[in-house]
């Protein structure tokens, strides 16, 4: 069996660097990190991410139930649907906002992925878990912009781990590499990660377009 000698996480990082750059540079993320994204869009974005994470967590639960060693990369402490619901409730927003076409497409794509390459769902997890690296900085801009408290209420999704975020990310990286996945498993995981970056960027574009259309 051909193993992935350079390490799953290094492969993921290197194969998605351009996708990260494009996602980060998109206008939606730029407004986010500058603290200029309108509050209404922040709330709608949380609502869409709730759809994505709820679907992802259901797939991961099924995957972990069949492969118990995957508990090292996904357990209850990595769940984001609950923090998202709490943020929305704190902001006085509905937790059942209708899913936009991009979120619906992402959910349909994850369903297919889970059928064809179940392990590839880890690529989606990689991107969203890794996004805590940047969203920690975004949270610092978002709190004053929307007058959110420093205790994290209303921004728990962006900064779920607080001071231990770097430790939690290192743990994730170590656990992923320790799975020693063969290259034949890493390839679909990388493709799923690339697709996830593109979908999240598209979601931001869709939210901005919907705001422009409403103006």
Site residues (vs ligand HEM, CB under 6 A): 12-13, 20, 23-24, 29, 33, 126-127, 130-131, 133-134, 137, 197, 200
**Which residue do the tokens 């996708």 mark?**
19
Q: How far is the CB of 198 from ligand HEM (least distance, A)?
A: 9
* 182 phi and psi angles, rounded to 5 deg: -70, 155
Q: How far is the CB of 34 from ligand HEM (least distance, A)?
A: 9
Nearer to ligand HEM, 130 or 188 (CB): 130
- H or E segment to which residue 192 belongs: helix 183-214
Nearer to ligand HEM, 43 or 196 (CB): 196
Half-sphere CA count of 114, side-chain side, radius 13 A: 19
CB 118 within 8 A of CB 65: no
Ramachandran bin of 2, using left for φ above 0, alpha for ψ from -120 to 50, beta for the remaining angles:
beta
User: Distance (Å, rounded) from C-alpha 207 to C-alpha 158?
Assistant: 18
User: Distance (Å, rounded) from C-alpha 74 to C-alpha 61?
Assistant: 8
Q: How far is the CB of 149 from ligand HEM (least distance, A)?
A: 22
Q: How far is the CB of 113 from ligand HEM (least distance, A)?
A: 16
Q: How far is the CB of 182 from ligand HEM (least distance, A)?
A: 20
Q: For residue 128, give the 3-state DSSP assignment.
A: helix
Provide DSSP, 53-78: HHHHHHHHHHHHHH-GGGGGT--GGG
Nearer to ligand HEM, 77 or 214 (CB): 77
Nearer to ligand HEM, 20 or 51 (CB): 20
Nearer to ligand HEM, 91 or 203 (CB): 203
């Amino acid at each position: 069996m051909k193993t992935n000698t350079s390490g799953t996480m290094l492969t993921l990082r290197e194969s998605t660097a351009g996708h990260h750059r494009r996602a980060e540079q998109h206008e939606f993320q730029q407004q986010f990190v500058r603290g200029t994204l309108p509050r209404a869009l922040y709330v709608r974005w949380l609502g869409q991410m709730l759809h994505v994470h709820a679907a992802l967590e259901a797939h991961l639960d099924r995957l972990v139930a069949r492969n118990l060693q995957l508990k090292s990369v996904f357990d209850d402490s990595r769940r984001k649907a609950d923090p998202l619901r709490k943020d929305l409730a704190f902001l006085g927003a509905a937790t059942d906002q209708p899913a936009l076409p991009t979120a619906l497409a992402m959910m349909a794509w994850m369903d297919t992925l889970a059928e064809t390459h179940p392990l590839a769902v880890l690529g989606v997890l990689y991107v969203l878990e890794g996004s805590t690296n940047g969203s920690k900085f975004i949270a610092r801009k978002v709190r004053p912009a929307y007058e959110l408290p420093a205790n994290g209420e209303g921004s728990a999704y962006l900064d779920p781990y607080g001071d231990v975020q770097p430790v939690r990310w290192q743990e994730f990286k170590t656990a992923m590499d320790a799975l020693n996945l063969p290259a034949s498993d890493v390839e679909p995981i990388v493709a799923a990660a690339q697709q996830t970056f593109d979908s999240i960027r598209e979601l931001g574009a869709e939210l901005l377009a919907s705001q422009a259309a409403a103006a």
